[in-house]
Structure 1
Amino acid sequence: MFPTIEISSEIHVPTYYLVICVVVAICLVWVTRRSHQLKLSASHTLDLSLLIMVFGFIGGRLFHVFYESFSYYQNDMMRILYFWDGGFVFYGGALLAAFAGMTYLYFKVHDQLENYLDLLAPVLALGYGLGRVACFLAGCCYGRACDLPWAVAGKHPSQLYAVFWELAVVLVLIGLEKSRSQIDFFKAPGRLFYTWMILHGSGRLLMESFRDDFRGPTVGFSISSWISWGIIILGITLLSKKPVDSKV
């Protein structure tokens, strides 16, 4: 693992945050270019991206604090603000960001809401996939004991499993998007995004099956597994929905 980059004896840059910053920059450039390619408003796209980043950060932090480690923070609530010490939950951020993003799209571009979801789909997949590189370098989200040839420090590299899965998802989504003219089913707006929901949820379940770090109390499965099942079921439901005024 490589949790920090030593600039000097007194200055250390957390690898996790450095990677996340680079990933966010890459995603912003790509989503802006995609907005031009798909003839969607770059202004709305950047506003939406900002909302996702801000509420994703807040949601990820709060979910960690109040679900995973409240006993640690309750004696000194100021620790909640010490985000540089780590402590984020992806699904906490994803759920709050989804609420904020959907609210924005509903009121700003209601008639094109699903077009913007399709715009985001491969970008979200890329962001999540590359973001797990940060987890790998930081040493968090680690896997169970493993003696396979690709084990890292004697454990399953569950973070890298997520990286490879989600990068494959990016390729699948791009392929489907380019083939829309030949595949009637995917011509309807939103279906690219709903496909990502199913693929992401499935990949997250796979990753969860290998993880061994503490992620709060469980009810049969980890909370992330339950959320993943919910995302998969919702994605299948939305994907099977007949488009309005469409022959698809």
Structure 2
Amino acid sequence: MLSFADFVVSALPMGHALGRIGCFLNGCCHGMICSSFLGVKYPANTLPWHRQLELGLIDRFTARTMPVHPVQLYESIFNIFLYLFLMYVYTRRKMSGIVITAYLLLYPLGRFIFEFFRGDERLHVGHFTMAQWFSVLLFAIGLISGIRLLYLYARRDKTQI
């Protein structure tokens, strides 16, 4: 079962990367206003435009939004690198479960950070978004999984000596 999970999870970041490109093109999951050269301006009647209008940052006659972080592309690039890393781990794994553990440790870290750059409306609990709290949970599961795998790997090595 863990071998199959490793196989499936190894490809998951590539799907997520492609999905985030779709988010970028659609304007959903957009970033917050920025002054960086990376800032993207969306046309009128897109989700970022409506959000900035709602916040009083632009008026209804404004043709383009103020520049926003292309956070969807940041996350897409992160997921492509995560995919490449997981494929590397998958082809060299010595035990089942290592790929899913690596995913559970790395993806939540990226997601937690990227949430700080988001400008769309999201549910907050305290200072963090629900996605950030879920990332903390996934990371904790990854830590427990990693500790368990290390224990099993060490135990397996002792029995083979």
- State whether residues 112 and 132 of structure 2, in contact with CA within 8 Å, keep that contact through their aligned partners in structure 1: yes
Provide Cα deviations, 1:13-34, integer angstroms capped at 9, x if missing partner.
Answer: xxxxxxxxxxxxxxxxxxxxxx
- State whether residues 71 and 118 of structure 2, in contact with CA within 8 Å, keep that contact through their aligned partners in structure 1: yes
* Corresponding residue of 2:70: 157
Counterparts in 2 of 1:217 and 1:203: CA distance versus 1, 3 Å: closer
**Counterparts of 1:57-68 in structure 2 under 5 Å?**
none
- State whether residues 188 and 243 of structure 1, in contact with CA within 8 Å, keep that contact through their aligned partners in structure 2: no
Structure 1: state its 5+ residue gaps. Answer: 1-112, 181-186
Task: Calculate the aligned-residue CA RMSD, in Å.
Answer: 1.6
By how many angstroms is 1:243 displaced?
A: 2.2
Greater than 4 Å deviation, 4+ residue runs: none
Q: Distance in 1 between matches of 2:116 and 2:75?
A: 12
By how many angstroms is 1:246 displaced?
A: 2.0
Q: Distance in 2 between matches of 1:127 and 1:197?
A: 16
With a CA cutoff of 8 Å and minimum separation of 6, indicate the structure with the bigger relative contact order: 2
Q: Distance in 1 between matches of 2:69 and 2:10?
A: 26
Provide Cα deviations, 1:80-122, integer angstroms capped at 9, x if missing partner.
Answer: xxxxxxxxxxxxxxxxxxxxxxxxxxxxxxxxx1111101112
SS of residue matched to 1:247: helix
Provide Cα deviations, 1:22-71, integer angstroms capped at 9, x if missing partner.
Answer: xxxxxxxxxxxxxxxxxxxxxxxxxxxxxxxxxxxxxxxxxxxxxxxxxx
* Corresponding residue of 1:213: 120
- State whether residues 10 and 90 of structure 2, in contact with CA within 8 Å, keep that contact through their aligned partners in structure 1: no
* Corresponding residue of 1:222: 129
* Corresponding residue of 1:243: 152
Is residue 145 from structure 1 mapped to residue 33 from structure 2 by the alignment? yes
2:87 pairs, out of 174, 178, 191, with: 174
Question: Greater CA deviation, 236-245 or 167-176?
Answer: 236-245
Q: Distance in 2 between matches of 1:246 and 1:131?
A: 39
Work out the percentage of aligned pairs sharing the same amino acid. Answer: 28
Q: Distance in 2 between matches of 1:155 and 1:233?
A: 32
Amino acid at match of 2:147: S
Amino acid at match of 2:74: Y
* Corresponding residue of 1:136: 24
Structure 2: state its 5+ residue gaps. Answer: 42-66
Aligned length: 130
TM-score, length of structure 1 as denominator length: 0.50
Q: Distance in 1 between matches of 2:156 and 2:16?
A: 32
Q: Distance in 1 between matches of 2:81 and 2:137?
A: 22
TM-score, length of structure 2 as denominator length: 0.75
Amino acid at match of 1:127: G
* Corresponding residue of 2:99: 192
Q: Distance in 1 between matches of 2:124 and 2:147?
A: 33
Q: Distance in 2 between matches of 1:124 and 1:177?
A: 13
Q: Distance in 1 between matches of 2:18 and 2:80?
A: 8
By how many angstroms is 1:189 displaced?
A: 0.5
By how many angstroms is 1:128 displaced?
A: 0.9
